[in-house]
């Protein structure tokens, strides 16, 4: 069955990208572990497939599913989230100006500052949560690069305003939708031109595969991205594509539990006397809670907090937690905890971290799909120990 736009998100998550194989009836896509394909005559591939960097049926099934869920014309599955970001930047020219949000995943900032800049791309960082900063983006902006919610501070960008500001000066807009996932937010519905995912996270959802995706809004953008993905060889492997598609089939179910658990823990932490600050878009205390209600269908599974006693106390909390594993990454079924400063955001220069409020004691939780009361009990005992 091929879902159409009238089907709900859950139906599309389960069915998009693959109809039972006409040859064998296989309900799930095979893992086409082949690097090359036979040709009937030189330059005449039998089924249109030549070489797996260029075309692979398992990857294509994942790509079609991702394009469907994000409402894009096409998707490109890459070897990692970073590979997806790099593939998009390869479509730019030396000298182009990228206006980027100031609070980004540490690895994205590192890619911009230490690699892309060497090839002549220019970067300007602004606080994209502020409409007045969006309204002032330079007239020669080529690409507006956003995360919403951001990693780690969970700031939101008003997508409708961002798209209007960028398109007014002829710039394109890309949203890294890793934190929200297509289950909660569809940037293309707001007119964004590209969506990026680290599919390592919620999309695959089981912390067993690294991957990324770049989704394009309309067919006109497809050829250029495809050319660069193929030329630079940033594509995802058949096995990783299979695992990612397998995980994606339950994205809607997992997100429901991630969101419910995160909301519960955010409430618990906000009421806790040893907790100084909780950042979660679903809390009324979040400065952009109203915007979150408007452009997201739920508030996600990520939250941050700071406890009394700063970094030493934060280290004590993460050491005492039992269900939350101390690890980088996020979006898997299991709960994870980390301190962004020495871990995921270690590559962000300290002065920038300070300016943004990524404090040494900041704790980031990726709330899993375990029983919420067990997670709350674990946090409670960890806090009791400080």
Ligand X SMILES: Cc1ncc(COP(=O)(O)O)c(C=O)c1O
Give CA–CA dist 242/58, Å, rounded: 6
> Do the beta carbons of residue 211 and residue 241 sit within 8 Å?
yes
172 or 176, CB closer to ligand X? 176
Determine whether 53 is an active site residue: yes
Q: Considering the complex, what minimum distance in angstroms separates the CB of residue 176 from ligand X?
A: 5
Catalytic residue among 53, 122, 264, 277: 53
87 or 288, CB closer to ligand X? 87
230 or 329, CB closer to ligand X? 329
**Which tokens belong to 332?**
């898997």
Question: What is the phi-psi region of residue 381: left when phi exceeds 0, alpha when psi lies from -120 to 50, beta otherwise?
Answer: alpha
77 or 165, CB closer to ligand X? 77
Give CA–CA dist 226/229, Å, rounded: 5
Catalytic residue among 12, 59, 155, 201: 201
147 or 306, CB closer to ligand X? 147
Segments of 170-235 assigned E as strands: 172-176, 194-198, 212-216
Segments of the chain assigned E as strands: 39-41, 44-45, 74-78, 97-101, 122-126, 141-147, 172-176, 194-198, 212-216, 275-279, 302-307, 325-326, 336-338, 363-366
Give CA–CA dist 224/242, Å, rounded: 25
* Residue number of the CB atom closest to ligand X: 81
Residue 235: strand pairing partners: 78
Residues lying near ligand X in the complex (CB under 6 A) are found at 80-82, 105, 107-108, 147, 151, 176, 178, 198, 200, 210, 212
Q: Which of 344, 324, 346, 286 is nearest to 149 (CA)?
A: 286
Q: Considering the complex, what minimum distance in angstroms separates the CB of residue 110 from ligand X?
A: 10
Catalytic residue among 32, 105, 202, 280: 105
Task: Name the maximum alpha-carbon separation found in the chain.
Answer: 74
Determine whether 201 is an active site residue: yes
Residues in the chain: 386
Q: Considering the complex, what minimum distance in angstroms separates the CB of residue 108 from ligand X?
A: 6
Place of tokens 């079924």: 333
Give CA–CA dist 367/321, Å, rounded: 13
178 or 237, CB closer to ligand X? 178
**Which tokens belong to 69?**
């869920």
Q: How far is CA 45 from the centre of its chain?
A: 35
Percentages (nearest 5) of helix, strand, coil residues in the chain: 40, 15, 45
Place of tokens 């249109």: 48
Catalytic residue among 96, 102, 103, 176: 176
Radius of gyration of the CA atoms of the chain, in A = 21
**Other Cβ atoms closer than 10 A to 371:** 11
Give CA–CA dist 192/108, Å, rounded: 19
200 or 207, CB closer to ligand X? 200
Q: Which residues are catalytic?
A: 53, 105, 176, 201
């Amino acid at each position: 069955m091929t879902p159409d736009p009238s089907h709900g998100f859950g139906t599309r998550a389960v069915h998009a990208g693959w109809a039972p194989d006409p040859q064998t009836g296989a309900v799930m896509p095979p893992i086409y572990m082949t690097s090359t394909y036979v040709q009937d005559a030189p330059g005449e591939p039998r089924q249109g497939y030549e070489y797996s960097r260029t075309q692979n049926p398992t990857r294509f099934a994942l790509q079609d599913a991702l394009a469907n869920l994000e409402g894009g014309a096409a998707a490109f599955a890459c070897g990692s989230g970073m590979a997806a970001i790099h593939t998009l930047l390869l479509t730019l020219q030396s000298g182009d100006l990228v206006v980027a949000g100031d609070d980004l995943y540490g690895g994205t900032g590192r890619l911009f500052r230490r690699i892309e800049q060497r090839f002549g791309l220019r970067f300007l960082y602004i606080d994209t949560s502020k409409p007045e900063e969006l309204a002032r983006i330079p007239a020669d902006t080529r690409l507006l690069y956003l995360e919403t919610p951001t990693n780690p501070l969970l700031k939101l960008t008003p997508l409708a305003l961002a798209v209007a500001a960028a398109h007014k000066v002829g710039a394109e807009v890309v949203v890294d939708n890793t934190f929200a996932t297509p289950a909660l937010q569809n940037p293309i519905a707001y007119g964004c031109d590209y969506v990026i995912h680290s599919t390592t996270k919620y999309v695959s959802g089981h912390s067993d595969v690294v991957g990324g995706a770049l989704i394009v809004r309309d067919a006109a953008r497809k050829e250029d991205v495809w050319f660069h993905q193929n030329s630079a060889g940033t594509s995802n492997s058949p096995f990783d594509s299979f695992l990612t598609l397998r995980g994606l089939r339950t994205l809607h179910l997992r997100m429901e539990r991630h969101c419910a658990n995160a909301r519960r823990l955010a409430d618990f932490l906000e009421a806790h006397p040893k907790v100084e600050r909780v950042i979660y878009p679903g809390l009324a205390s979040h400065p952009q809670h109203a915007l979150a209600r408007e452009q997201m269908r739920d508030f996600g599974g990520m939250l941050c907090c700071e406890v009394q006693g700063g970094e030493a106390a934060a280290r004590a909390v993460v050491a005492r937690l039992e269900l939350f594993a101390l690890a980088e990454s996020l979006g898997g079924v299991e709960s994870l905890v980390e301190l962004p400063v020495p871990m995921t955001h270690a590559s962000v220069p300290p002065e920038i971290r300070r300016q943004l409020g990524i404090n040494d004691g900041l704790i980031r939780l990726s709330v899993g799909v375990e029983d919420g009361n067990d997670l709350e009990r674990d946090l409670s005992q960890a806090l009791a120990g400080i």
